[in-house]
């Protein structure tokens, strides 16, 4: 009989060999033999678009076929997501998955699909904190100041978001519920117009993804009060976590890659291997750092576990905030 250590070593070798064989099968079958569509369910120009184009360029160079970013915004990412779910499971249509997919599972009772059953996880891409930013003229310098100001001026604060049911919106609603304050939520079609109105003073604040507000904070056009993760952001090391003031508060955005359920394992393994390898490229490491994003490494199975955890996490946020699509 073999001992436990030998068994674990043998199992690890078998798993590694299986992954290598899967990648070899995909390559021997000529995948990809034509351009691959990479569906981004948001408008062009945001963090999701930047990350997608960065990885797609790397995949195009490595695999010898074009990986083409195709923006399909609308319905809180549902239009793009449904496009991929209905596509043939052949590896030629991929989805930029995100926090919206985890949120919609509980936020939207009218969802025309089951994300967990319709999409096979391929690989994680990135995770980044959100940051609470305010107009530079607002007389607050910290999260504690903001909460005190809101309590002294009930209902007079307006908070922008990139739309109802987004991570930006629900992060704000969770903050409101935990801090026991009131403010008016003003949804926009994307974060850019919301940030513009915060800078102009028409809106007092906003929870936004670090990548899209980073330069505005650095230039002094917006004031950052706190990040939504328990740890400080490498991109904004001087900005403390909101949880330092509001114990237990935590949210973040994540991005990954999915494919229609039923896509061959060999193709998923090949894509996962190439995406994970891309994180070690100096140019990609630099760009991720500039975007304030942390790579999400690991197998397709590990990303699937992360999706399940995030879906449950956002379900609890939806329940606590009392927000739900009507």
For 129-176, where are the E strands, in sequence order?
130-135, 158-161
What is the CATH topology of the domain spanning 130-244? Answer: D-Maltodextrin-Binding Protein; domain 2 (3.40.190)
Percent pLDDT > 70 in the chain is 91
Structure confidence by residue, pLDDT tens digits, 47-66: 788 889 999 999 999 999 99
Q: Is 219 a residue whose pLDDT tops 70?
A: yes
Taking the C-alpha atoms of residue 97 and residue 100, their distance in angstroms, rounded to an integer, is 8
3-state secondary structure of 232: coil
Structure confidence by residue, pLDDT tens digits, 180-200: 999 999 998 778 899 999 999
Domain ranges of the chain: 4-128+253-321, 130-244
What is the model's pTM? Answer: 0.80
Taking the C-alpha atoms of residue 251 and residue 128, their distance in angstroms, rounded to an integer, is 9
**Check whether domain 4-128+253-321 has CATH 3.40.190.150, yes or no:** yes
Percent pLDDT > 90 in the chain is 67
Spacing of C-alpha 203 from chain mean position: 25
Structure confidence by residue, pLDDT tens digits, 224-270: 999 999 999 888 999 999 999 999 999 999 999 999 999 999 999 99
Contact at 8 Å (CB) between 76 and 108?
yes
**4-128+253-321 and 130-244, same CATH topology:** yes
Taking the C-alpha atoms of residue 326 and residue 322, their distance in angstroms, rounded to an integer, is 12
Taking the C-alpha atoms of residue 310 and residue 256, their distance in angstroms, rounded to an integer, is 12
Query: Could you give the C-alpha distances from 86 to 13, 89, 110, 221, in angstroms and in order?
Result: 36, 9, 18, 43
Tell me which of 26-30, 221-225, 283-287, 310-314 is least confident.
26-30
């Amino acid at each position: 009989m073999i001992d436990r250590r030998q068994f674990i070593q043998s199992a690890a070798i078998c798993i590694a060999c299986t992954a290598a064989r899967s990648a070899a099968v995909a390559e021997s079958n000529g995948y990809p033999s034509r351009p691959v569509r990479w569906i981004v369910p948001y408008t062009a120009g945001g963090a999701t678009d930047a990350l997608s184009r960065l990885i797609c360029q790397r995949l195009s160079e490595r695999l010898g076929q074009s990986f083409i970013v195709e923006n399909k915004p609308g319905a809180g990412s549902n239009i793009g997501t449904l496009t991929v779910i209905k596509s043939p499971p052949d590896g030629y249509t991929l989805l930029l998955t995100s926090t919206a997919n985890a949120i919609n599972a509980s936020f939207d009772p009218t969802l025309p699909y089951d994300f967990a059953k319709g999409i096979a996880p391929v690989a994680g891409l990135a995770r980044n904190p959100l940051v609470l930013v305010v107009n530079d003229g607002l007389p607050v310098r910290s999260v504690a100041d903001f909460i005190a100001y809101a309590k002294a001026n009930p209902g007079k604060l307006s908070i922008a978001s990139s739309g109802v049911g987004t991570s930006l919106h629900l992060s704000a609603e969770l903050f409101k519920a935990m801090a026991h304050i009131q403010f008016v939520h003003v949804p926009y079609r994307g974060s850019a117009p919301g940030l513009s109105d915060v800078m102009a003073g028409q809106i007092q604040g906003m929870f936004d993804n670090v990548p899209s507000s980073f330069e505005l904070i650095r230039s002094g056009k917006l004031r950052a009060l706190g990040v939504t993760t328990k740890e400080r952001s490498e991109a904004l090391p001087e900005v403390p976590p909101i949880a330092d003031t509001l114990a237990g508060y935590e949210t973040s955005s994540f991005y990954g890659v999915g494919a229609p359920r039923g896509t061959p394992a060999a193709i998923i393994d090949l894509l996962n291997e190439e995406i994970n390898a891309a994180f070690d490229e100096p140019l990609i490491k630099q760009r991720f750092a500039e975007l304030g994003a942390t790579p999400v490494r690991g197998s397709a199975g590990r990303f699937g576990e992360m999706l399940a955890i995030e879906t449950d996490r956002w379900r609890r946020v939806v329940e606590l905030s009392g927000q739900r699509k009507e």
